[in-house]
Amino acid sequence: MPIGQRVPQDKINLRLILVSGKTKEYLFSPSESAGDISQYVFDNWPPEWEEEAVSKAEILRLIYQGRFLHGNVTLSALGLPTGRTAVMHLVPRESLPQPSSQEDLHRKKTSGGGCCGSCSCVIL
């Protein structure tokens, strides 16, 4: 999207940033998913990104607010407002890291390795 042009009220302007720092902006509907976006960018790869070209769309991953997006997550599910610009990183990566929940993190901290096994200790 040209600089200075307004974002249509029914679209989200997505500014994608490569690891190299190169950026490109695309307009997407809120209903489009991370997988749709990766496929679109792959099919319309910018000439100025030629050095970073990948062999298939499936290895393009979007990162938003520090998290890898799974292919079926839509822009609207992320709460991105229409008529505005959002920034995401675009990286080539074969597989996604396993999602971790707070419960898993808590379980790792409290199981094994503690002074009392599975119970909690209180020192007064």
CATH number of the domain where residue 63 is located: 3.10.20.90
pTM beyond 0.85: no
114 within a domain of the structure (yes/no): no
| Domain tally, the chain | 1
Containing structural domain, residue 35: 12-97
- pLDDT band, residue 93 (cuts 50/70/90): confident
Amino acid in the structure at residue 85: T
The two tokens of residue 16 are 């994608």
pLDDT of residue 100: 58
Q: Nearest to residue 13, comparing CAs of 69, 86, 66, 62?
A: 86
Return d(Cα 37, Cα 60) in angstroms, integer: 9
26 within a domain of the structure (yes/no): yes
Q: Is the sign of the CA dihedral 54, 47, 5, 36 positive or negative? A: negative
67 within a domain of the structure (yes/no): yes
23 within a domain of the structure (yes/no): yes
pLDDT of residue 6: 85
pLDDT digits (tens, 9 = 90+) for 27-80: 999 999 999 999 999 999 999 999 999 999 999 999 999 999 999 999 999 999
Return d(Cα 30, Cα 49) in angstroms, integer: 25
